[in-house]
A and B are shown apart, each in its own frame.
Chain A
Amino acid sequence: MGFNKVRASAAEACEGITSGMTLMVGGFGLCGIPENCISELVKMGVKDLTCISNNAGVDDFGLGLLLQQKQVKKMISSYVGENAEFERQMLSGELEVELIPQGTLATRCMAAGYGMPVVYTPAGVGTEVAEGKEVREFKGKKYLMEEAFDADFALVKAWKGDAMGNLMFRSTARNFNPMMAMAGKITIVEVEELVPLGALDPDHIHTPGIYVHRIFQGVNYEKRIEQRTVRQRI
Protein backbone atom coordinates (compact mmCIF):
# COMPACT_ATOMS: atom_id res chain seq x y z
CA MET A 1 0.00 0.00 0.00
CA GLY A 2 2.98 2.33 0.34
CA PHE A 3 2.54 5.57 2.20
CA ASN A 4 -1.09 6.07 1.23
CA LYS A 5 -1.46 9.62 2.58
CA VAL A 6 -3.83 11.11 0.01
CA ARG A 7 -7.49 11.36 0.99
CA ALA A 8 -10.37 12.11 -1.36
CA SER A 9 -12.16 14.59 0.87
CA ALA A 10 -12.18 16.41 4.19
CA ALA A 11 -14.59 13.73 5.47
CA GLU A 12 -12.08 10.95 4.78
CA ALA A 13 -9.19 13.00 6.08
CA CYS A 14 -10.89 13.83 9.40
CA GLU A 15 -11.81 10.23 10.22
CA GLY A 16 -10.96 9.30 13.78
CA ILE A 17 -11.43 12.76 15.30
CA THR A 18 -13.75 12.22 18.26
CA SER A 19 -15.29 14.26 21.05
CA GLY A 20 -12.94 15.29 23.85
CA MET A 21 -9.80 15.35 21.70
CA THR A 22 -7.12 18.05 21.58
CA LEU A 23 -6.65 19.65 18.16
CA MET A 24 -4.08 22.08 16.86
CA VAL A 25 -5.57 24.40 14.27
CA GLY A 26 -3.24 26.44 12.04
CA GLY A 27 -3.72 30.05 10.99
CA PHE A 28 -3.28 33.62 12.19
CA GLY A 29 -6.58 35.43 12.41
CA LEU A 30 -8.45 34.14 9.36
CA CYS A 31 -5.24 33.85 7.32
CA GLY A 32 -4.08 30.33 6.52
CA ILE A 33 -6.84 28.52 8.42
CA PRO A 34 -7.90 24.97 7.43
CA GLU A 35 -11.34 26.01 6.18
CA ASN A 36 -12.32 22.58 4.86
CA CYS A 37 -11.38 20.72 8.04
CA ILE A 38 -13.25 23.23 10.21
CA SER A 39 -16.40 22.82 8.09
CA GLU A 40 -16.03 19.06 8.37
CA LEU A 41 -15.77 19.21 12.18
CA VAL A 42 -19.04 21.17 12.22
CA LYS A 43 -20.67 18.42 10.11
CA MET A 44 -19.23 15.67 12.29
CA GLY A 45 -20.65 17.34 15.40
CA VAL A 46 -17.72 16.31 17.62
CA LYS A 47 -17.86 18.10 20.96
CA ASP A 48 -15.78 19.00 24.03
CA LEU A 49 -12.79 19.81 21.85
CA THR A 50 -9.67 21.51 23.17
CA CYS A 51 -8.36 23.76 20.41
CA ILE A 52 -4.81 25.08 20.33
CA SER A 53 -4.92 27.96 17.88
CA ASN A 54 -3.51 31.48 17.95
CA ASN A 55 -6.98 33.00 17.53
CA ALA A 56 -10.59 31.87 17.74
CA GLY A 57 -11.95 33.11 14.42
CA VAL A 58 -14.86 35.53 14.09
CA ASP A 59 -18.54 34.87 14.85
CA ASP A 60 -19.38 33.28 11.53
CA PHE A 61 -16.04 32.05 10.19
CA GLY A 62 -13.00 30.07 11.21
CA LEU A 63 -13.14 28.51 14.66
CA GLY A 64 -16.13 30.76 15.35
CA LEU A 65 -18.17 28.15 13.45
CA LEU A 66 -17.26 25.50 16.05
CA LEU A 67 -17.98 27.92 18.90
CA GLN A 68 -21.43 28.65 17.45
CA GLN A 69 -22.28 24.95 17.68
CA LYS A 70 -20.81 24.76 21.20
CA GLN A 71 -18.29 22.14 20.13
CA VAL A 72 -15.32 23.67 21.94
CA LYS A 73 -14.66 23.04 25.62
CA LYS A 74 -11.37 24.87 25.87
CA MET A 75 -9.38 27.33 23.75
CA ILE A 76 -5.62 27.78 24.13
CA SER A 77 -4.78 31.00 22.28
CA SER A 78 -2.75 34.19 22.46
CA TYR A 79 -5.44 36.61 21.28
CA VAL A 80 -9.14 36.01 20.95
CA GLY A 81 -10.10 39.24 19.23
CA GLU A 82 -13.53 40.36 18.19
CA ASN A 83 -15.91 37.46 18.59
CA ALA A 84 -19.18 38.12 20.43
CA GLU A 85 -20.18 34.45 20.81
CA PHE A 86 -16.74 33.66 22.18
CA GLU A 87 -17.09 36.46 24.71
CA ARG A 88 -20.53 35.30 25.77
CA GLN A 89 -19.41 31.69 26.32
CA MET A 90 -16.26 32.78 28.13
CA LEU A 91 -18.13 35.11 30.52
CA SER A 92 -20.84 32.52 31.21
CA GLY A 93 -18.20 29.91 32.02
CA GLU A 94 -19.27 27.52 29.22
CA LEU A 95 -15.91 27.94 27.54
CA GLU A 96 -12.56 27.57 29.26
CA VAL A 97 -9.87 29.89 27.90
CA GLU A 98 -6.13 29.71 28.48
CA LEU A 99 -4.30 32.75 27.15
CA ILE A 100 -0.59 32.33 26.55
CA PRO A 101 2.03 34.50 24.84
CA GLN A 102 2.12 34.10 21.06
CA GLY A 103 5.79 33.13 20.94
CA THR A 104 5.24 30.62 23.72
CA LEU A 105 2.39 29.09 21.72
CA ALA A 106 4.58 28.80 18.62
CA THR A 107 7.51 27.43 20.56
CA ARG A 108 5.48 24.83 22.45
CA CYS A 109 4.33 23.52 19.05
CA MET A 110 7.89 23.62 17.76
CA ALA A 111 9.17 21.69 20.78
CA ALA A 112 6.67 18.89 20.09
CA GLY A 113 7.83 18.68 16.47
CA TYR A 114 11.50 18.65 17.49
CA GLY A 115 11.03 15.98 20.16
CA MET A 116 11.86 18.25 23.10
CA PRO A 117 9.71 17.98 26.27
CA VAL A 118 10.20 21.59 27.39
CA VAL A 119 11.57 24.94 26.31
CA TYR A 120 12.66 27.94 28.37
CA THR A 121 11.36 31.35 27.39
CA PRO A 122 11.53 34.74 29.11
CA ALA A 123 8.01 35.67 27.95
CA GLY A 124 5.74 36.15 30.97
CA VAL A 125 8.41 36.23 33.68
CA GLY A 126 7.05 38.32 36.56
CA THR A 127 3.46 38.18 35.22
CA GLU A 128 0.46 35.98 35.95
CA VAL A 129 1.55 33.71 33.07
CA ALA A 130 4.41 32.57 35.33
CA GLU A 131 2.11 31.32 38.09
CA GLY A 132 2.80 27.66 38.90
CA LYS A 133 5.66 27.42 36.41
CA GLU A 134 9.29 26.61 37.08
CA VAL A 135 11.53 29.69 36.77
CA ARG A 136 15.20 29.14 36.00
CA GLU A 137 18.01 31.60 35.61
CA PHE A 138 20.53 31.27 32.79
CA LYS A 139 23.37 33.83 32.44
CA GLY A 140 21.60 36.23 34.79
CA LYS A 141 18.22 36.22 33.02
CA LYS A 142 15.05 34.49 34.19
CA TYR A 143 13.11 32.05 32.00
CA LEU A 144 9.87 30.09 32.36
CA MET A 145 9.82 26.37 31.65
CA GLU A 146 7.08 25.67 29.12
CA GLU A 147 6.04 22.19 28.05
CA ALA A 148 5.66 20.89 24.52
CA PHE A 149 2.03 20.58 23.44
CA ASP A 150 0.44 17.19 23.11
CA ALA A 151 -2.24 17.19 20.40
CA ASP A 152 -4.20 14.24 19.03
CA PHE A 153 -4.58 15.86 15.62
CA ALA A 154 -3.08 18.89 13.89
CA LEU A 155 -5.23 20.54 11.22
CA VAL A 156 -3.07 22.44 8.77
CA LYS A 157 -3.60 24.55 5.67
CA ALA A 158 -0.85 24.66 3.03
CA TRP A 159 -0.64 26.17 -0.44
CA LYS A 160 0.81 23.24 -2.39
CA GLY A 161 1.52 19.70 -1.38
CA ASP A 162 2.24 16.32 -2.94
CA ALA A 163 1.27 12.72 -2.21
CA MET A 164 4.27 12.29 0.08
CA GLY A 165 2.95 15.14 2.22
CA ASN A 166 5.67 17.62 1.29
CA LEU A 167 4.32 21.13 1.78
CA MET A 168 4.81 24.69 0.63
CA PHE A 169 3.04 27.61 2.23
CA ARG A 170 2.21 30.97 0.68
CA SER A 171 3.05 34.34 2.21
CA THR A 172 1.84 34.97 5.77
CA ALA A 173 -0.63 32.09 5.50
CA ARG A 174 2.40 30.13 6.69
CA ASN A 175 2.30 31.43 10.33
CA PHE A 176 1.64 28.56 12.78
CA ASN A 177 1.00 25.92 10.10
CA PRO A 178 4.53 24.47 9.69
CA MET A 179 5.13 23.91 13.40
CA MET A 180 1.66 22.54 13.98
CA ALA A 181 2.20 20.17 11.06
CA MET A 182 5.27 18.90 12.91
CA ALA A 183 3.50 18.62 16.26
CA GLY A 184 0.33 16.57 15.72
CA LYS A 185 0.24 12.88 16.62
CA ILE A 186 -1.74 12.72 13.39
CA THR A 187 -1.35 15.66 11.01
CA ILE A 188 -4.05 16.37 8.45
CA VAL A 189 -3.21 18.85 5.72
CA GLU A 190 -5.55 20.52 3.26
CA VAL A 191 -3.92 22.16 0.25
CA GLU A 192 -5.07 24.57 -2.41
CA GLU A 193 -3.23 22.49 -4.95
CA LEU A 194 -2.27 18.84 -4.71
CA VAL A 195 0.56 18.49 -7.24
CA PRO A 196 2.20 15.39 -8.77
CA LEU A 197 5.32 13.94 -7.14
CA GLY A 198 8.36 15.74 -8.50
CA ALA A 199 6.51 19.00 -9.16
CA LEU A 200 7.82 20.60 -5.96
CA ASP A 201 11.48 21.54 -5.91
CA PRO A 202 12.93 19.68 -2.88
CA ASP A 203 14.96 22.80 -2.04
CA HIS A 204 11.77 24.85 -1.72
CA ILE A 205 9.77 22.54 0.55
CA HIS A 206 8.86 24.16 3.86
CA THR A 207 7.59 21.04 5.65
CA PRO A 208 8.98 17.61 4.73
CA GLY A 209 6.32 14.97 4.25
CA ILE A 210 7.50 12.78 7.13
CA TYR A 211 5.43 14.99 9.44
CA VAL A 212 2.26 14.65 7.39
CA HIS A 213 -0.09 11.67 7.75
CA ARG A 214 -3.02 12.66 5.56
CA ILE A 215 -3.36 15.20 2.77
CA PHE A 216 -6.26 16.29 0.59
CA GLN A 217 -7.15 18.85 -2.02
CA GLY A 218 -9.35 21.50 -0.38
CA VAL A 219 -12.31 23.09 -2.15
CA ASN A 220 -14.18 26.41 -2.22
CA TYR A 221 -11.66 28.52 -0.32
CA GLU A 222 -13.25 31.73 0.88
CA LYS A 223 -10.04 33.25 2.35
CA ARG A 224 -11.95 35.95 4.14
CA ILE A 225 -10.06 39.16 4.97
CA GLU A 226 -10.50 40.32 8.58
CA GLN A 227 -9.19 43.91 8.21
CA ARG A 228 -9.23 45.15 4.64
CA THR A 229 -6.84 48.11 4.64
CA VAL A 230 -5.85 49.93 1.46
CA ARG A 231 -4.14 53.15 0.40
CA GLN A 232 -5.38 55.58 -2.22
CA ARG A 233 -3.77 55.73 -5.65
CA ILE A 234 -2.22 59.14 -6.09
Chain B
Amino acid sequence: MAWDKIGIAKRIAQEVQDGTYVNLGIGIPTLVANYIPEGMEVELQSENGILGMGPFPFEGEEDADLINAGKQTVTLRDGSSIFDSAMSFGMIRAQKVDLTILGAMEVSENGDIANWKVPGKMVKGMGGAMDLVASAKNIIVAMQHCDKAGNSKLLPQCSLPLTGIHCIKKVVTDLGVFDIRDGAFHLVELAPEVTLEEVIAKTAGKLLTQ
Protein backbone atom coordinates (compact mmCIF):
# COMPACT_ATOMS: atom_id res chain seq x y z
CA MET B 1 0.00 0.00 0.00
CA ALA B 2 1.56 3.23 -1.14
CA TRP B 3 0.73 6.30 0.94
CA ASP B 4 -2.48 8.16 0.25
CA LYS B 5 -2.67 11.92 0.78
CA ILE B 6 -3.09 11.47 4.52
CA GLY B 7 -0.18 9.04 4.57
CA ILE B 8 2.04 11.61 2.84
CA ALA B 9 0.89 14.31 5.27
CA LYS B 10 1.55 12.05 8.30
CA ARG B 11 5.03 11.20 7.03
CA ILE B 12 5.90 14.87 6.45
CA ALA B 13 4.62 15.73 9.95
CA GLN B 14 7.48 13.57 11.28
CA GLU B 15 9.93 16.01 9.66
CA VAL B 16 8.55 19.01 11.54
CA GLN B 17 10.75 20.07 14.44
CA ASP B 18 9.59 21.29 17.86
CA GLY B 19 9.75 25.06 18.35
CA THR B 20 9.69 26.05 14.68
CA TYR B 21 7.76 28.35 12.36
CA VAL B 22 6.24 26.55 9.38
CA ASN B 23 4.45 27.71 6.23
CA LEU B 24 2.04 25.18 4.71
CA GLY B 25 0.90 25.39 1.10
CA ILE B 26 -2.51 24.46 -0.28
CA GLY B 27 -3.54 20.78 -0.65
CA ILE B 28 -1.64 17.94 1.05
CA PRO B 29 0.61 20.40 2.94
CA THR B 30 -2.44 21.87 4.73
CA LEU B 31 -3.23 18.36 6.05
CA VAL B 32 0.19 18.19 7.77
CA ALA B 33 -1.13 20.49 10.51
CA ASN B 34 -3.48 17.71 11.66
CA TYR B 35 -0.65 15.26 12.35
CA ILE B 36 1.93 17.30 14.21
CA PRO B 37 2.72 15.22 17.32
CA GLU B 38 0.98 16.17 20.59
CA GLY B 39 3.06 18.33 22.87
CA MET B 40 5.14 19.85 20.10
CA GLU B 41 5.08 23.61 19.74
CA VAL B 42 4.86 24.61 16.08
CA GLU B 43 3.63 27.99 14.90
CA LEU B 44 2.00 28.10 11.47
CA GLN B 45 2.64 31.07 9.22
CA SER B 46 0.11 32.05 6.57
CA GLU B 47 1.58 34.47 4.06
CA ASN B 48 -1.46 36.74 3.98
CA GLY B 49 -0.38 37.86 7.44
CA ILE B 50 -0.74 35.34 10.29
CA LEU B 51 1.62 33.70 12.74
CA GLY B 52 -0.13 31.23 15.00
CA MET B 53 -2.90 30.10 12.69
CA GLY B 54 -5.41 27.76 14.30
CA PRO B 55 -7.96 25.25 12.94
CA PHE B 56 -11.11 26.07 10.95
CA PRO B 57 -13.76 27.86 13.04
CA PHE B 58 -16.86 26.14 14.40
CA GLU B 59 -19.93 26.68 12.28
CA GLY B 60 -21.40 30.11 12.99
CA GLU B 61 -18.08 31.51 14.21
CA GLU B 62 -16.59 32.27 10.78
CA ASP B 63 -15.07 35.74 10.49
CA ALA B 64 -14.84 37.24 6.98
CA ASP B 65 -11.82 39.27 8.12
CA LEU B 66 -9.89 36.17 9.18
CA ILE B 67 -8.76 33.89 6.36
CA ASN B 68 -5.65 31.95 5.42
CA ALA B 69 -3.63 32.20 2.21
CA GLY B 70 -6.01 29.70 0.60
CA LYS B 71 -8.86 32.16 1.38
CA GLN B 72 -10.39 29.69 3.85
CA THR B 73 -11.89 30.91 7.11
CA VAL B 74 -9.56 30.05 10.00
CA THR B 75 -9.01 30.88 13.67
CA LEU B 76 -6.11 32.29 15.69
CA ARG B 77 -4.35 30.46 18.50
CA ASP B 78 -3.37 32.17 21.73
CA GLY B 79 -0.07 33.89 21.10
CA SER B 80 -0.78 34.62 17.46
CA SER B 81 0.00 37.83 15.63
CA ILE B 82 -1.24 39.64 12.52
CA PHE B 83 0.82 41.72 10.11
CA ASP B 84 0.74 43.11 6.59
CA SER B 85 1.85 41.38 3.39
CA ALA B 86 5.17 43.26 3.13
CA MET B 87 6.20 42.15 6.62
CA SER B 88 4.94 38.63 5.93
CA PHE B 89 7.22 38.25 2.93
CA GLY B 90 9.92 40.12 4.80
CA MET B 91 10.06 37.38 7.43
CA ILE B 92 10.02 34.76 4.66
CA ARG B 93 12.84 36.49 2.75
CA ALA B 94 14.87 36.96 5.92
CA GLN B 95 14.58 33.20 6.60
CA LYS B 96 12.75 33.57 9.89
CA VAL B 97 10.31 30.89 8.75
CA ASP B 98 12.08 27.57 9.35
CA LEU B 99 10.24 25.23 7.02
CA THR B 100 8.06 25.53 3.93
CA ILE B 101 5.93 22.60 2.76
CA LEU B 102 4.32 22.88 -0.65
CA GLY B 103 2.97 20.90 -3.57
CA ALA B 104 4.55 20.60 -7.01
CA MET B 105 3.90 19.45 -10.55
CA GLU B 106 7.55 18.61 -11.18
CA VAL B 107 10.79 18.48 -9.21
CA SER B 108 14.23 17.97 -10.75
CA GLU B 109 17.29 16.10 -9.49
CA ASN B 110 19.07 19.43 -8.88
CA GLY B 111 16.23 20.76 -6.69
CA ASP B 112 14.35 22.89 -9.24
CA ILE B 113 10.58 23.07 -8.81
CA ALA B 114 7.70 23.78 -11.23
CA ASN B 115 4.27 24.27 -9.71
CA TRP B 116 2.54 27.31 -11.13
CA LYS B 117 1.98 27.18 -14.84
CA VAL B 118 1.09 24.68 -17.55
CA PRO B 119 1.51 26.13 -21.06
CA GLY B 120 -1.79 26.11 -22.94
CA LYS B 121 -3.86 25.99 -19.76
CA MET B 122 -5.41 28.89 -17.85
CA VAL B 123 -2.67 30.32 -15.66
CA LYS B 124 -3.85 31.35 -12.23
CA GLY B 125 -0.57 32.77 -11.01
CA MET B 126 2.28 31.93 -8.69
CA GLY B 127 0.86 33.56 -5.57
CA GLY B 128 3.53 33.46 -2.88
CA ALA B 129 5.21 30.27 -4.12
CA MET B 130 8.14 31.98 -5.88
CA ASP B 131 8.93 34.09 -2.82
CA LEU B 132 8.75 31.06 -0.53
CA VAL B 133 10.97 28.76 -2.60
CA ALA B 134 13.53 31.50 -3.29
CA SER B 135 14.11 32.17 0.39
CA ALA B 136 13.10 29.29 2.64
CA LYS B 137 15.88 27.54 4.55
CA ASN B 138 14.23 24.18 4.25
CA ILE B 139 11.60 23.15 1.73
CA ILE B 140 9.75 19.85 1.55
CA VAL B 141 7.61 19.02 -1.46
CA ALA B 142 4.48 16.89 -1.05
CA MET B 143 3.20 15.36 -4.29
CA GLN B 144 2.22 12.23 -6.19
CA HIS B 145 5.20 10.40 -7.67
CA CYS B 146 3.62 10.31 -11.14
CA ASP B 147 1.05 12.43 -12.95
CA LYS B 148 -2.36 11.08 -13.98
CA ALA B 149 -0.92 9.78 -17.26
CA GLY B 150 1.69 7.82 -15.30
CA ASN B 151 4.65 10.06 -16.14
CA SER B 152 7.28 10.54 -13.45
CA LYS B 153 7.28 13.93 -11.70
CA LEU B 154 10.82 13.37 -10.37
CA LEU B 155 12.81 14.42 -13.41
CA PRO B 156 16.34 15.11 -14.67
CA GLN B 157 15.07 18.60 -15.58
CA CYS B 158 11.68 20.25 -15.17
CA SER B 159 9.77 20.58 -18.44
CA LEU B 160 7.24 23.12 -17.13
CA PRO B 161 7.99 26.81 -16.39
CA LEU B 162 10.02 26.99 -13.19
CA THR B 163 8.91 28.37 -9.84
CA GLY B 164 12.43 28.31 -8.36
CA ILE B 165 15.85 26.77 -8.86
CA HIS B 166 18.14 24.63 -6.66
CA CYS B 167 15.84 24.99 -3.68
CA ILE B 168 14.05 21.70 -2.87
CA LYS B 169 15.74 19.55 -0.22
CA LYS B 170 13.24 16.75 0.23
CA VAL B 171 10.31 15.20 -1.62
CA VAL B 172 7.67 12.97 -0.04
CA THR B 173 5.49 11.13 -2.55
CA ASP B 174 3.00 8.26 -2.37
CA LEU B 175 5.96 5.92 -2.96
CA GLY B 176 8.51 7.19 -0.46
CA VAL B 177 10.83 9.84 0.91
CA PHE B 178 13.68 11.29 -1.15
CA ASP B 179 16.41 13.75 -0.25
CA ILE B 180 17.78 15.91 -3.05
CA ARG B 181 21.50 16.64 -2.98
CA ASP B 182 24.50 16.52 -5.31
CA GLY B 183 22.29 16.36 -8.39
CA ALA B 184 20.32 13.24 -7.45
CA PHE B 185 17.28 11.92 -5.61
CA HIS B 186 18.46 9.86 -2.64
CA LEU B 187 15.95 7.25 -1.46
CA VAL B 188 15.46 7.62 2.29
CA GLU B 189 12.43 5.44 2.88
CA LEU B 190 9.93 3.39 0.90
CA ALA B 191 6.22 3.67 1.63
CA PRO B 192 4.72 0.43 3.00
CA GLU B 193 4.62 -2.41 0.46
CA VAL B 194 6.27 -0.31 -2.26
CA THR B 195 9.15 -2.08 -3.96
CA LEU B 196 12.49 -0.64 -4.92
CA GLU B 197 11.80 -1.83 -8.48
CA GLU B 198 8.62 0.26 -8.67
CA VAL B 199 10.44 3.39 -7.45
CA ILE B 200 13.26 2.85 -9.92
CA ALA B 201 10.77 2.37 -12.76
CA LYS B 202 8.81 5.49 -11.83
CA THR B 203 11.70 7.88 -11.18
CA ALA B 204 12.97 9.56 -14.36
CA GLY B 205 15.65 11.64 -12.61
CA LYS B 206 18.89 10.26 -11.23
CA LEU B 207 18.04 8.01 -8.27
CA LEU B 208 20.49 6.72 -5.67
CA THR B 209 19.14 3.96 -3.48
CA GLN B 210 21.76 3.85 -0.78
Could you list which residues of chain A lie within 8 angstroms of chain B, going by C-beta atoms? 28-32, 54, 77-81, 87, 90-91, 99-107, 109-110, 121-129, 159, 169-179, 206, 223-233
Smallest CB–CB gap between A54 and chain B, Å?
Answer: 7
Question: How far is A124 from B89 in the complex, measured between Cα atoms in Å?
Answer: 14
Interface SS, B side: loop
Q: Is B130 an interface residue (CB 8 A)?
A: yes
Do A121 and B165 have beta carbons less than 8 Å apart?
Answer: no
What residues on B are CB-neighbors of A127 within 8 Å?
A: 130, 161-165
Smallest CB–CB gap between A93 and chain B, Å?
Answer: 14
- Considering the complex, which residues of chain B in the window 117-133 have a beta carbon less than 8 Å from any beta carbon of chain A? 122-131
Do A173 and B65 have beta carbons less than 8 Å apart?
Answer: yes
B49-71 CB mask vs A (1 if < 8 Å, else 0) is 11000011111011111111111
Do A99 and B123 have beta carbons less than 8 Å apart?
Answer: yes
Smallest CB–CB gap between B158 and chain A, Å?
Answer: 10
- Given A122-B135, A233-B58: A175 in contact with B127 (beta carbons within 8 A): no
Do B67 and A80 have beta carbons less than 8 Å apart?
Answer: no
Do B85 and A123 have beta carbons less than 8 Å apart?
Answer: no
Question: How far is A229 from B30 in the complex, measured between Cα atoms in Å?
Answer: 13
Question: How far is A225 from B68 in the complex, measured between Cα atoms in Å?
Answer: 12
What residues on A are CB-neighbors of B122 within 8 Å?
A: 87, 90-91
What residues on A are CB-neighbors of B86 within 8 Å?
A: 106-107, 109-110, 178-179
- Given A122-B93, A174-B82, A230-B73: A224 in contact with B64 (beta carbons within 8 A): yes
Output the residue of B48, B72, B134 with the most chain A CB within 10 A. Answer: B134
Say which residue of B73, B123, B130 sits within 8 Å of A229 (CB atoms).
Answer: B73
Do B134 and A175 have beta carbons less than 8 Å apart?
Answer: no
Q: Is B138 an interface residue (CB 8 A)?
A: no
The 24 listed contacts between A and B (C-beta, < 8 Å) are A28-B48, A29-B67, A31-B67, A32-B65, A77-B125, A87-B122, A90-B122, A99-B126, A102-B85, A103-B88, A103-B89, A103-B130, A107-B89, A121-B93, A123-B131, A124-B134, A125-B164, A172-B48, A172-B66, A174-B49, A225-B73, A227-B71, A230-B56, A230-B59
What residues on B are CB-neighbors of A99 within 8 Å?
A: 123, 125-126
Do A229 and B56 have beta carbons less than 8 Å apart?
Answer: yes
What residues on B are CB-neighbors of A106 within 8 Å?
A: 84-86, 88-89
